[in-house]
Amino acid sequence: MPKKMNIVLMVVAFLFAGQALAQGQIAIVDAERAIYETELAKERLEAMKNNADVVANLKQGEALQKEFEDMVKKLQKDGAVMGAEQKAELQKKLQEKRADIEHIGKKLQTTQQELRRQLLSEMGEKAKVVISDIIKQDNIGLLLDAQVALHAGSGYDITAKVTQRLNENN
């Protein structure tokens, strides 16, 4: 009886394997990365970096960072001989500089996030259409978000193909 059971199990396994192959391939995609790597996204990112407000914020942030570092060095160098009042005043100024640096950093981050949201909004539907076309062309039976997959070989990733098609359509 065990030999018959093994044979039956092997036949069932082969049947399911054939059915799985008939379902199509498995692939992963990072749709956001595909959009952010398009030529349009790169152009917009470059334009944002060259925007007068962004350039001014970057310069101001760098200047504040330099001032902050100089103040830290002064505190380290002269802290032992400073009076308590001087030390407290310098520490207060350091906190103010740090707050200013963080504020500028948040402004720059918000600008970049807004650009990313715009790109996703503008190109999201195009990406869905492109992905749908690739699914049909490549006979993909299961498509996973690359961020969800724990592991996938590069041969399973269609992100570059999506980016290429998006570039062709713009």
Q: What is the pLDDT along the chain (170 residues), one digit of tens a residue?
A: 444 444 444 444 444 444 444 457 999 999 999 999 999 999 999 999 999 999 999 999 999 999 999 999 988 888 888 888 998 899 999 999 999 999 999 999 999 999 999 999 999 999 999 999 999 999 999 999 998 888 888 889 999 999 999 999 87
Question: Are 91 and 75 contacting, i.e. CB atoms less than 8 angstroms apart?
Answer: yes
Half-sphere exposure of 124 (CA within 13 A, CB side): 7
Question: Token digits for 114?
Answer: 């807004």
| Pairing between β-strand 25-29 and β-strand 140-145 as defined by DSSP bridges | parallel
